[in-house]
């Protein structure tokens, strides 16, 4: 397939990088920087940056972090007065945060970051679609997607690969301005508040002690198995952090609950619980040692409830449905995508936080304004 014609500046030398940094420093709070990243995340816990794409003042820059140390560029981005535009950019933010934290920067992210996919959700527009769908609908252009399987750490990158990367930032500023016109002041204020929450979420601080709370199915375990799950998740995350290994490459995430329940002490037993053979070959003996250690632990009564604990309570099934219907109506009345309120994580979080006497997502920040009458639903009080 013939790639679209597009111009870009390759930044793979220190002099070019210094010029780019100076250009960003000259931007004002009325300017925009479109940003995207290409990375590899196959075997590692953290994404490995392969290319950083920036566009501002009608120029596109493709920065090579394999050839250059880009810490000064990232510092400049965290300090810029311009608004930084991303699209479905959770991992873009994660990459910036890690570079900033590793280098001890005062700020981890730019002051103004706008995720256009999220902005569109506050207009209930194309929720969850990819960039190509938004570009086609808003701008009338189509993006080439021939290079989705690229190894972005390999050099040299082909012309087609570089054009593919450049196109990911080509239309972001135009899209932002079109979306901004569609959204009223109230919904835009909600979007800004949600972006602050998204930025906070990007500042990931891994806590091995509580890693078990995120595991699907943990809420179904009895306390003895939950004690073992907590220990296994702690050991897995500590090992992954130390060696920068993807969690699934240590112990398959979907197998953790069965491993905690059944405590297999053979390699075949691990496989029967769903641990992938690749993980077993690499780490099987170590996993079995962890299991043996977990079997010697006293049963813990102080563990925090898993995030999905109340999701498995059949007696709450009707309450879940009533709350979800109410949230969908609130979203419709507010003109926003229902997923911003009625996603399962917000429904389950509501009951968990009420049980813990904490503030649910639905009663925090902008959401409390949209679901103001939630207490009138007379939802049941939850018990463990």
Instruction: Indicate the pairing of strand 9-11 with strand 59-63.
Output: parallel
What is the per-residue pLDDT for 5?
73
Residues 6+ apart with CB under 8 A from 25: 76, 80
Do residue 337 and residue 250 come from a single domain?
Answer: no
Pick from 202, 224, 241: which residue ends a domain? 202
Please measure the distance between the N-terminal and C-terminal CA atoms of the chain and give it in whole angstroms: 58
Domain presence at residue 123: yes
Pick from 202, 229, 255: which residue ends a domain? 202
What is the per-residue pLDDT for 233?
99
- Sign, Cα dihedral of 224, 225, 228, 234: negative
8 Å CB contact between 39 and 48:
yes
Do residue 282 and residue 335 come from a single domain?
Answer: no
- Percent of the chain surpassing pLDDT 70: 98
* Domain total in the chain: 3
Do residue 276 and residue 338 come from a single domain?
Answer: no
Do residue 194 and residue 253 come from a single domain?
Answer: no
- Does 41 score more than 70 pLDDT? yes
Do residue 146 and residue 62 come from a single domain?
Answer: yes
CA distance 162 to 159: 5
Domain presence at residue 59: yes
Domain presence at residue 1: no
Do residue 197 and residue 213 come from a single domain?
Answer: no
State which residues form the domain around 134. 9-202
Residue 73 burial (CB count, 10 A): 22
What is the per-residue pLDDT for 383?
72
Give the global pTM: 0.94
Do residue 352 and residue 241 come from a single domain?
Answer: no
Do residue 158 and residue 109 come from a single domain?
Answer: yes
- Does 147 score more than 90 pLDDT? no
Pick from 271, 295, 319: which residue ends a domain? 295
Do residue 35 and residue 138 come from a single domain?
Answer: yes
- Does 331 score more than 90 pLDDT? yes
Do residue 71 and residue 198 come from a single domain?
Answer: yes
CA distance 33 to 53: 10
Domain presence at residue 87: yes
Residue 10 burial (CB count, 10 A): 13
- Does 350 score more than 50 pLDDT? yes
Q: How many CA atoms lie within 13 A of 365 on its CB side?
A: 15
CA distance 130 to 121: 13
Which CATH number belongs to the domain containing residue 162 in this structure?
Answer: 3.30.420.10
Do residue 37 and residue 93 come from a single domain?
Answer: yes
What is the per-residue pLDDT for 201?
92
Which CATH number belongs to the domain containing residue 341 in this structure?
Answer: 1.10.150.80
User: For 303-321, what is the mean pLDDT?
Assistant: 93
What is the per-residue pLDDT for 4?
63
What is the per-residue pLDDT for 384?
64
Residues 6+ apart with CB under 8 A from 58: none
Do residue 247 and residue 346 come from a single domain?
Answer: no
Domain presence at residue 4: no
CA distance 120 to 363: 23
- Does 144 score more than 80 pLDDT? no
């Amino acid at each position: 397939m013939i790639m679209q014609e597009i111009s870009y500046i390759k930044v793979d030398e220190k002099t070019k990088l210094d010029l780019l940094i100076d250009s960003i420093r000259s931007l004002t709070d009325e300017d925009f920087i479109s940003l995207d990243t290409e990375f590899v995340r196959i075997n590692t816990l953290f994404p490995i940056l392969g290319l950083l794409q920036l566009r501002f003042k009608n120029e596109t820059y493709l920065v090579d972090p394999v050839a250059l140390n880009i810490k000064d560029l990232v510092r400049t981005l965290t300090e810029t007065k311009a608004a930084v535009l991303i699209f479905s950019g959770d991992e873009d933010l994660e990459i910036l945060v890690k570079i900033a934290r590793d280098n001890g920067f005062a700020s981890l992210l730019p002051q103004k970051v706008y995720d256009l996919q999220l902005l569109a959700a506050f207009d209930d527009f194309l929720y969850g679609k990819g960039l190509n769908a938004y570009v086609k609908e808003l701008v009338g252009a189509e993006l080439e997607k021939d290079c989705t399987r690229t190894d972005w750490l390999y050099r040299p990158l082909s012309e087609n690969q570089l054009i593919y990367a450049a196109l990911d930032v080509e239309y972001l500023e135009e899209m932002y301005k079109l979306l901004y016109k569609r959204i009223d002041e109230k919904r835009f204020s909600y979007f800004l508040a949600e972006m602050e929450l998204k930025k906070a979420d990007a500042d990931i601080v891994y806590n091995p002690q509580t890693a078990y709370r995120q595991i699907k199915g943990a809420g179904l375990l009895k306390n003895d198995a939950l004690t073992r799950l907590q220990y296994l998740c702690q050991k897995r995350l500590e090992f992954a952090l130390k060696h920068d290994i993807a969690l699934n490459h240590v112990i398959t995430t979907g197998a953790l609950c069965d491993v905690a329940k059944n405590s297999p002490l053979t390699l075949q037993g691990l496989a029967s619980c769903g641990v992938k053979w690749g993980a077993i070959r690499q780490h099987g003996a170590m996993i079995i040692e962890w299991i043996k250690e977990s079997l010697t632990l006293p049963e813990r009564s102080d563990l925090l409830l898993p995030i999905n604990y109340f999701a498995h309570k059949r007696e709450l099934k009707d309450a879940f449905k009533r709350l979800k219907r109410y949230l969908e109506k609130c979203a419709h009345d507010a003109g926003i995508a229902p997923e911003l309120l009625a996603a399962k994580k917000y429904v389950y979080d509501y009951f968990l936080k009420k049980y813990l006497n904490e503030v649910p997502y639905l009663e925090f920040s902008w959401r409390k304004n949209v679901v103001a009458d939630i207490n009138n639903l007379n939802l049941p009080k939850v018990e463990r």
